[in-house]
Structure 1
Amino acid sequence: MQDMARTFAALSDPTRLSVVEKLMQQGELPVAALVSDAGMSAPAVSRHLKVLREAGLVTQRAEGTKRYYRVAPESVRAIADWTTLHRSFWAASLDRLEAVLAEDRDLVDE
């Protein structure tokens, strides 16, 4: 559970979430491509990438002096598994909310 807390904490930052989404859409990218799209300095992007690496969301590969990043598929799978596991809780909660709202509408209509 602590791993999931670290994962969600890392993704709670809009910049880091954006980086992960970009890597999911485009695949492995060099740091330079991530910096050019982020609108912030290379050191700032590197700090975000470090958080994502430590959370296990991305992996890094070196090729000469260049660094390439990609999403770690096992981390995305863990998020999907966690979400699926908790889906019944959310579905039941939303069903209860819908019932309460329906009761409120019925009271207003009377």
Structure 2
Amino acid sequence: MIEAATINAVMRTLADPTRRAIFERVVISDEITVVELTRGSGVTQGAISQHLKSLKQAGLVAERPEGRNVYYRAKPEGLEPLVDWMNHYGVFWRERFADLRTLLKEIDP
């Protein structure tokens, strides 16, 4: 099974709607700066930086400093714990629904 601390970090990080929106913008960009993320977002540059820090700590983004700018890009492998968790429980629920279907057929032929 997936390490609980890792899946908790990813879920906790993506639970915040502002952070999730920032992550989505990073995902659709090849690379993006804090300044570009701040434009039109209605969020301060400091808040964007804090959200990016959380995303980085969760392994969801990587940064590349270049001069005075820092470029952020998505790390798709950071979502692997979430995908693994969903796959695990997907199998669990498919089996339960199959059992329920069987039971319902037995009850109401």
Q: TM-score, normalised by structure 1?
A: 0.77
User: Is the CA contact (8 Å cut-off) linking 1:38 and 1:45 kept in structure 2?
Assistant: no
Q: Which has the higher contact order (CA 8 A, sep 6+)?
A: 2
Match among 83, 87, 92 for residue 90 of structure 2: 87
Match among 55, 65, 71 for residue 68 of structure 1: 71
Find the aligned partners of 1:24 and 1:8 in 2 and give their Cα distance. Answer: 17
Measured after TM superposition, the shift of residue 92 of structure 1 is 4.3
In terms of fraction of residues, the more helix-rich structure is: 1
1:21 maps onto 2:20 in alignment: no
Output the aligned Cα RMSD: 2.2
AA partner of residue 29 (structure 1): I
Q: Deviating runs (4+, > 4 A) in structure 1?
A: none
1:43 maps onto 2:42 in alignment: no
User: Is the CA contact (8 Å cut-off) linking 1:15 and 1:38 kept in structure 2?
Assistant: no
Find the aligned partners of 1:33 and 1:87 in 2 and give their Cα distance. Answer: 37
1:5 maps onto 2:8 in alignment: yes
Runs of at least 5 residues in structure 2 that lack an aligned partner in the other structure? 105-109
Per-residue CA shift, 1:25-52, capped at 9, x if unaligned? 2222111111114211100111111111
AA partner of residue 47 (structure 1): Q
Q: Percent identity?
A: 33
Runs of at least 5 residues in structure 1 that lack an aligned partner in the other structure? 103-110
* Farther-moved stretch of structure 1 (71-80 vs 55-64): 71-80
Match of 1:39, SS state, is coil
